A and B are shown apart, each in its own frame.
Chain A
């Protein structure tokens, strides 16, 4: 839980006393590698704050091809926001890529915390802002940048993803083939 306390205090100020209340709204859970937090067609009841481990969110198309939508590591939130907020069935799968320690929180409890603690609402506003920025970037990169530029900015922005996930997952995240990715890696190593 200390990781969550430190994390929240990076964005806003929460006292020890308030944190004792806040932490009661979270459930600690362990996930084994490959275990699913969310399956396609299910409603995302919880978002997971990752204490330890790595996860991925992906979409499986009608041909059975996996498209990696998001990657998550420690101090990130994993889940499908659309399904979580609207209580609609998810089109995604979210699973553990390594053994994970997570803190789960339900939609209802997020809303309760938001009402009860101004600091929690401030945290959400800040996270949403960061998220909007990162998502806009990802979108611009994926529709307008060359594969090389996309890979370069990925390495610059998320060096820890490169270290934690295998090449085929990263290639899928970037929307390029595995062959293109290994060609780019060789090229950049030579530069």
Chain B
């Protein structure tokens, strides 16, 4: 018993080490990894790192440039920008994780239905997916916001609606190719029911590429959230968001450049980090997903 545990542990460790060494050879991927770790840890530890309350006002010290007291300066209401940036990161990550997981689950279910169901259902799904993908994203998002009203949940809803078609198509394609796979036919001939086929055969094959694609969507989701918040129709103030910090910066662009700089840099670093990391991971795990070499 002990020996098998040790062996598995050693195998896992050697796989992990080889993974690390592959990373070491890819400077961009490493850079991305560092940025992502930085961002995620600051999001998780947000409540412990922030020096000030992100929504506490201090009008006397409004629009100050960076100083010892406020590393990134203050905004037009005297709030500490650094604390808002850190909190904004936490919220951005939360929105991203929630919306992507929900979209993934819905996309999985819908894709399975499309792939396994009768042809007319499939065709209907495809048309729906393609139609939603034909809406320019932000413009469509603004339409939804008008109907439902701005809030964090609206942002999540928008992201879900616009990303389900992408995941749905992938799952559907995989399902369809698997459906006619001889191995599956053999299983069905032996009387295996749908659930078994789905869980044992389909899911393990889909999960990998799907997760990689989903993780590469994180920068896109963060961007949508920031964009909508920038337009004032996303996360409602006073809750901090990188987008609303940028909005404040835009309003006061002639007074101080620091709001835009401070709000923009974390957004840039996060999107860069996740994108570089995502590209490296994809190269390692499934170079076939790569659209160029």
- A and B: interacting chains: no
